[in-house]
Amino acid sequence: MRVRIASNSCIKGPYYRIVLNPPSKVNITPGQFLMLRPATPCNSYDPLLPRPFSIHRVDQSGNIEILYKVVGRVTTILSMIVEGDEVDILGPLGNGFPVNREVVGDNILIIAGGIGAAPIIGLGETLRTNYPDRPIVIILGGRGEADLLCVEDLKKTAAEVIITTNDGSVGIKGYVTDALEEYLSRRCDPGLRTTVYACGPSPMLQKISEITGTRRNIETYFSLEANMACGIGLCMGCAVKRRDRGYYLVCKDGPVFRGDTIVL
Ligand SMILES: Cc1cc2nc3c(=O)[nH]c(=O)nc-3n(C[C@H](O)[C@H](O)[C@H](O)COP(=O)(O)OP(=O)(O)OC[C@H]3O[C@@H](n4cnc5c(N)ncnc54)[C@H](O)[C@@H]3O)c2cc1C
Ligand code: FES
């Protein structure tokens, strides 16, 4: 589907917010994504393949917001797009974060690193609306202050936002996983059921899996990143190993998976 751009602006450094204006409102589950490709003049094939982006938010009038970091060819082209230009999108795709009663514990912990903050605003807002009596703690990390996104919005959603930066420019100096370890060891009542949701780079997710799953048996849901060419289960390019046997496709079976079902 071809959609018009309502706005596209730099938030800070390499991070941008693009707002798409689809013809009709879409219903999404937080954690779902779109395949997106800039619409090119004369329908040229450059860039050939679309790229996956999480849906950050759908606003009251149905506009879809995406946060993106400029890292390569498509995101550089995206950063040059202006209001009134068009992009091609496919979606919403994939399975988002589960928020049903069987899954959500008495304590809710959401962890995001860098651009991993993009889908967790919607997740936090949904959980706060559906479970107003359950405390939500968010651990947000980045290399430095410039990599911390959506801090003010997250503070409105959570009972507490713990910030970490690798360089110590804001919050606790270190990684989100240091703050997680500290929180679970000293401040989290082990008698209560805790559910963890996480989105960020693979090494961060691996470490979280070790802390929550292997050592504590806490139910944890990960939103995975993978190279995607089609986004709909056709190219087999986004396989992730299953714990039992075989592979899942991140685009079709995920991108959100329960930690104990996959090999990170
Ligand atoms: C389900 C899903 C949701 C995603 N949601 C978002 C989102 O909301 N916002 C967002 O910005 N990105 C998101 N990504 C990552 C995004 O798809 C890639 O950043 C994008 O494909 C880069 O395209 P490109 O053509 O600009 O870079 P490419 O030319 O494809 O890559 C350029 C270089 O950057 C590296 N690279 C790719 N991705 C990243 C990254 N995330 N950080 C650092 N280096 C990277 C590549 O390995 C390569 O070396 C998501 C990915 C998945 C699978
Ligand atoms: S991206 Fe093609 S199968 Fe997942």
Find the 135 Cα to ligand 1 centroid distance in Å: 32
- Sheet (strand 256-258) strand order: 172-173, 160-165, 136-142, 107-113, 194-199, 219-223, 256-258
* Residue 43: pLDDT over 70: no
Q: Which CATH number fits domain 107-261: 3.40.50.80, 3.40.50.970, 3.60.15.10, 1.10.10.10?
A: 3.40.50.80
Q: How confident is the model at residue 45 (pLDDT cuts 50, 70, 90)?
A: low
Q: Which of 51, 93, 251 to mutate to test the pocket of ligand 2 (most atoms within 8 A of CB)?
A: 251
Q: Residue ranges per domain, the chain? A: 2-93, 107-261
For the domain spanning 2-93, the CATH number is: 2.40.30.10
Q: How confident is the model at residue 25 (pLDDT cuts 50, 70, 90)?
A: confident
Q: What is the amino acid identity at position 182?
A: E
Q: What is the pLDDT of residues 96-124, one digit of tens each?
A: 999 999 999 999 999 999 999 999 999 99
ipTM of this predicted structure: 0.93
Find the 229 Cα to ligand 2 centroid distance in Å: 6
128-135 LR contacts (CB < 8 Å, sep 24+): 128/157, 128/158, 130/99, 130/104, 131/104, 134/104, 134/105, 134/106, 134/107, 134/108, 135/107, 135/108, 135/159, 135/160
Find the 74 Cα to ligand 1 centroid distance in Å: 9
**Which ligand 2 atom minimizes the distance to the CA of 239?**
4
Q: What is the pLDDT of residues 184-194, one digit of tens each?
A: 998 888 888 99
Q: Which residues, in sequence order, are bridge partners of residue 257?
A: 222
